[in-house]
Chains A and B, each alone.
Chain A
Amino acid sequence: MMTKFRLSLALLSLFTLTACAAPPGTWGWYVIDPTTSAGWTNITFLLRGFSATIQISVIAAVASIIIGLLVALPAFARSRWLRLPNRIYVEFIRAIPLLPMLFWVFYGLPVVLRSMGIDLNIDPFWGAVITLALSDSAFTAEIFRSGIQSVPRGQAEAAQTIGLTRAQAMRYVILPQAVRRILPPLANQFIYIVKMSAFASVIGMAELTRRANELVVTEYRPLEIYTLLILEYLVLVLIISAGVRWLERKMNADESR
């Protein structure tokens, strides 16, 4: 935690140093100077993107966890045929780059739905949520699978001998133990989602990146505006990291109690 803060502080001072060391005229911070009314308007315009970025990321993450769990569970079936859908889903979804998938969901999926008689327009917000959730679910499914597999086999055997069904063993014995192994990589995935939500800008979602782009077009100060954009994501990710660390500490405290 401390090292991470120090790292980000170092990064910040690096920015400031570059700013100071550069020849006069390189930086034009006036564009986001909060003391001027024009600068303040620009800043609030950019910061309002947080709401969309956070909403997209959180909804997509929750959906991806649910889909991931549903996809991971067949991997533990005895029959090879039940395991097959898991493998196909993971290999297929994992192979699609995010941007093409976003285009397909936003421009293609409504056409498919209309041909099936469903008249549903997908707006940029839900287009981004669906794409991020789907794309990420292949990775969360793998995280769940490896986390569940890391619980020693004896646990499932003991559960069986005290009469639990396989579903009960999963619910009461395996999953609670797998969670602490799953959480750190899951947090990584969430950070990944937050960053990838920037792609929503290309289908017109007014989140952090889109707003920065729009401001650059009117103000012609890409350096300052994109610098601020990077810092916006940095703050978001640092907050998530701190939250996860807190959760991990809390779970470890529960364990040793």
Chain B
Amino acid sequence: MIRVKAALGWTAHDQLNRSRAKEQVANINQGKHAITMAQVSKWYDDFQVLRDITLDVDHGEKLVICGPSGSGKSTVVRLLAGLEQHQKGTISLYGQPVDSQGRGDIGMVFQQFNLFPHLTVLDNLMLGPMRALGMPRPEARDRAMAYLERVRIPEQADKRPGQLSGGQQQRVAIARSLCMDPKLMLFDEPTSALDPEMIAEVLEVMEDLARDGMTMICVTHEMGFARRVADRIAFMDAGEIVEVEPPEIAFSAPKSARFAQFLDKILKH
């Protein structure tokens, strides 16, 4: 056994275990909850930002979260990404706590892209696989190029993020997350910082991803995207989940007055 490990090299061995474990997870979790949030509450000092959030997301499901600013929708996504802590309730991802997830298992796409400005696009993508997964450089490079092609900008590989348009930067950010082979992808208003003409190219990439069966949670105001892609739409207001509906119902017959008002406002223009 030890000889086998040595022959494969530790990294290759880990890699193998990792992909096997992932396959198993995928099989076991078919049709099961990817995310379970039970009565999650969070405070900033005295101010309560989340009130008893209870939410299940199935494996392979696409959930869109919408709501007015300050409603706590970003906070939900940031909790799931492990970027913030909650004070009450439980969150589990595939039955495990957030902080015991594998490195890079939860992909996150930020409103401000947060690409690493001192690295080339390619190095941005290779950093995680090489340093967190211990992948050898040539392999990481192949993987990075594959995902750059998938987001349709392989020709930008050697540029710095600052030389790209906002839409291109956000697609690089999506590719950077995908390079870690995540179990689920979180999006925190991925198109809100973009000029209107660049929104479509980012949404197309996200729709591709959805078609491939990725589990996705997306905070967005793009209701067209929600209608096309979402399995369910969750409406949040004042730190609560007010309503969760499939898009057909959400857009035609929302149950709560607050959701109806909100949709009315953002669909008017």
Residues of A whose CB lies within 8 Å of any CB of B are 152, 154-155, 157-165, 168, 172-173, 176-177, 255-257
B176 at the interface (CB under 8 A from A): yes
Given contacts A158-B110, A162-B104, A176-B118, 14 further A-B contacts (CB under 8 A): A154-B114, A157-B83, A158-B173, A162-B132, A162-B179, A163-B104, A163-B180, A164-B103, A164-B128, A164-B132, A168-B132, A172-B127, A177-B118, A256-B160
CB–CB A161/B132 < 8 A: no
| Contact A162/B110 with A172-B127, A177-B117, A177-B118 known, Cβ cut-off 8 Å | no
| Contact A154/B110 with A162-B177, A164-B127 known, Cβ cut-off 8 Å | yes
Task: Give A164 to B104 CA distance when docked, in angstroms.
Answer: 8
Q: Which chain B residues border A163 with CB–CB below 8 Å?
A: 102-105, 128, 131-133, 180
The A contact surface, by secondary structure, is: helix
Task: Give A154 to B133 CA distance when docked, in angstroms.
Answer: 22
| Contact A158/B180 with A164-B127, A164-B132, A172-B131 known, Cβ cut-off 8 Å | no
Q: Which chain B residues border A176 with CB–CB below 8 Å?
A: 118
CB–CB B114/A157 < 8 A: yes
Q: Which chain B residues border A164 with CB–CB below 8 Å?
A: 103, 127-128, 131-132
Task: Give A257 to B163 CA distance when docked, in angstroms.
Answer: 9
| CB<8 Å pairs between A and B, sample of 14 | A152-B114, A158-B108, A160-B81, A160-B83, A161-B104, A161-B177, A162-B176, A163-B104, A163-B133, A164-B132, A165-B132, A168-B131, A173-B127, A177-B117
Q: 5 nearest interchain CB pairs?
A: A163-B103, A163-B104, A163-B132, A162-B128, A158-B114
Centre residue among A152, A173, A255, A256 by max chain B CB count within 10 A: A173
> Closest CB-CB distance, B106 to chain A, in whole Å?
7
B82 at the interface (CB under 8 A from A): yes
B116's contact among A160, A168, A173, A255, by CB below 8 Å, is which?
A: A173
Task: Give A177 to B114 CA distance when docked, in angstroms.
Answer: 13
Task: Give A172 to B131 CA distance when docked, in angstroms.
Answer: 9
A158's contact among B82, B103, B116, B162, by CB below 8 Å, is which?
A: B116
Closest to A257 in B: B160
Centre residue among A152, A155, A161, A163 by max chain B CB count within 10 A: A161
| Contact A160/B82 with A168-B132, A172-B131, A255-B160 known, Cβ cut-off 8 Å | yes
Q: Which chain A residues border B102 with CB–CB below 8 Å?
A: 163
> Closest CB-CB distance, B74 to chain A, in whole Å?
12
Closest to B118 in A: A176
Task: Give A168 to B112 CA distance when docked, in angstroms.
Answer: 22
Task: Give A157 to B114 CA distance when docked, in angstroms.
Answer: 8
Centre residue among A152, A163, A173 by max chain B CB count within 10 A: A163
CB–CB A154/B131 < 8 A: no
Task: Give A256 to B159 CA distance when docked, in angstroms.
Answer: 9
B107 at the interface (CB under 8 A from A): yes
Closest to B133 in A: A163
CB–CB B81/A161 < 8 A: yes
CB–CB B106/A161 < 8 A: yes
> Closest CB-CB distance, A252 to chain B, in whole Å?
12
Closest to A176 in B: B118
Task: Give A64 to B131 CA distance when docked, in angstroms.
Answer: 29
